[in-house]
Structure 1
Amino acid sequence: MENEQLFERTAKPVLDVRDKPKPSQWAFLSTQHLFAMFGSTVLVPFLTHMPISAALLASGIGTLLYILITRAKIPAYLGSSFAFITPIISGIANHSLGDMLVALFMSGVMYVIIGLIIKLSGINWLMHLLPPVVVGPVIMVIGLSLAPTAVNMAMFENSGDMKGYNLSYLLVAMITLLVTICVQGFFKGFLSLIPVLVGIIVGYIVSVCIGLVNFAPIAQAKWLQLPDIYLPFKDYVPSFHLGLVLVMVPIVFVTVSEHIGHQMVINKIVGRNFFKDPGLDKSIIGDGVSTMFASIIGGPPSTTYGENIGVLAITKIYSIYVIGGAACIAILLGFIGKFTALISSIPTPVMGGVSILLFGIIAASGLRMLVESNVDFAQNRNLVIVSVILVIGIGNLVFNLKGLGINLQIEGMALAALAGIILNLILPQSKSTADNKDA
């Protein structure tokens, strides 16, 4: 009943998908979407040490590619994906840049393959492969495996080094976290959609007051300059590493499931069946092409953003022109040297403070999926699947065949996702569950 009320509430838009905003309002409406996605999109390259300007370009151009592929029918904005943070950090630490970016490119190819299969055979096979009992705990692993990163950023000048413990860092991180929580919990309207951005701004001001910000790089940066991106054969030599590809690909199944969930919400908000027109296959392929482009220039993989879906719901402005405008502004920001230098100057504890909340929300989202899907833990089958996924993922279990002369290693989140998929396929359903499905 609640979903029906929400549908009725948003059935009469202020601007429909193909409506153009007034020129005097266009920039403002697009900037709202830019603010909504900005904190999370910038945080991913900040954590993975990928170029911030590359992430902005990947976000903007990737969104425009998505609009093109979906024939300008779905008002969705694409930003940096959190799901790939841990494998990217691991890939950069243990492999060449060429290995890592090719593996990310292959994850985009996997999106396209899944989209083509959906076009030919429908979506039921994917739902069978990825039920909530598998996807929920994998999402929890994504958030919980990042928890040490957030805490270390909040406490230490040197990552994880107790000698580098800094009380000023912790103070800044806690103020940033508290402000973000308060904006999320107590503010209404547009500000409630940008708590991360508000938290970062306040944390930055506090950092300036206690001397944690170095302004020299900002002063030295040019106003206009070419974005800091990685180009194949110029900045890196593409190389295929099977083990790293096998780390990235299983994560795609989880992010595709998240993508489908986002599309369901957009369907309800806008009041159209985008699964049918332009088709879920085109939406997933658009996400994949965006990820492929991002990997080519050294940016993080893309995903549709729930923050921007929230903007759609509150403003009732579904115009694809507004989404495209936000993408164009993001591209322009990638060419402003002082802007990217400003973002790079944000102290580590500020990002650590917002990360504590964001990574916790990711984990809680996985738990929420289990609860809302009524996963029955009285059934040993479900208990086993979730338990194995959590321990393998959080414990970072490694499957390594290098000792047998095979260059293959799968670890942590990817191995947890594979284990969950396999266990879901081979473990028998209880009789009551099978009867419910038949009914």
Structure 2
Amino acid sequence: MSLLERYHLFVHRVASIIGYNYDDSAPEWIRPFVHLILTLAPSFLLGVLIYLGIRFLLSSARSPRKEALPELVAIQGAEPNLFKAVLAHSLRPQLIMIALSLTALPILYATLELPKLIVNNALDSNRFPVSFIGWEFDQVSLLMLLCGLYLVAIFASGLNKYVLNTFKGFVSERFLRRLRLAIYRHWRFREHSSETRDVFPVLAQEVEPIGGFAANLLTLPVLQGGTLLTIMLFMFVQDPLLGAAALSVLPIQIILLPKLQRHLNRLARTRIHEVRALGTHLRRSGLASAQQGQEIRSVAASLKELERIRRRIFRLKFFVKALNNFLTSLTPFLFYSLGGYFVIEGRISLGALVAVLAAHKDFSAPLKDLFAYYQQVEDSRIRYKEIFLFFRRHGDVVKPTTTGKCKALRDFKNEDHPLPCRRMSQRSGANPVC
């Protein structure tokens, strides 16, 4: 038996395992789809996952590079590691949000299952009256019952989202207030002076996305990852072949989109530096000095560079969006072609196909959110690091004091004390006092 014949025999066996009798009587046009869905796409996905796993293990096996930030500058009340900082101040709220996220998953499955029951059992059925938990229903009564249950499910889903998003907003603002207070305390009572206006964009715009990340640190991957798994489970229950079709373009998205997002993050970091440079040039250009003309030219050059960076960001950002939309739209094509053929052959019901199509519409949203979360992690980590590097560039290279405990740290955790910590002169050798 040749290798090609063995391959075809393997595909037939895989198809029979999932309940599809794929033999010589199948139409010719369906054969490429079956090979793509059952062998090529899963093999590609498995290879991608193995590559990412090996890459993760190798990066973990290397000796971790020590962070230079605590040795260069210490912001009292702010942990140099962003993830530790978030968990140190919001662990209990994070657990509450995880519980709310897990509660949303069975509600989601109900909102996917009930439309199928409405189409198959109430609209496209001749078995009436039907008995349900000891009650008999005619066609209209059963339709109203299922629609009422669907209304309850979508109301519960909306209520869960409202409570979760509101709680996330509280967690985000609480962490932002802590971080801004720590930055202000360090800037106000540090040993080396820097320009007052330089700290304004740090306190206002640059820390804002970090607050959103603090609320999404654990909640978003749990909620959106659970949503993705719930939708996949629902599609596989309806038909394993259609469920496998939903994963056919996933390997391409896993490979291409993160690489493009990393390039987008580098451009965003370059834009942050350019905005700060523009602020410096604007401040200096307002002063009467011999270099005023040179500073005005520097402002013009900085504005031109900002325009160039923003144009590159727009091009790359919308290319990523268009590519993701195109890849996501390929799967419904498989559903319409394969699913329509299965409905004609009687393999699945029309309600199941409609439910699978509706589920895949929701399938792309959590996938986009997970890719956006990856971008948010990198962006927030870079922004948080830039806050420490900001004080380093302004001459604050003081190591954290090891003797004496400053009351400001306790006040920062308790959030009640309005007075910042003041240091006595280092030359006197005194410990920090409040």
TM-score by length of 2: 0.24
Work out which structure has the larger RCO, using CA pairs closer than 8 Å and 6 or more positions apart in sequence. 1
Judging by fraction of residues, say which structure has more helix. Answer: 2
Larger Rg: 2
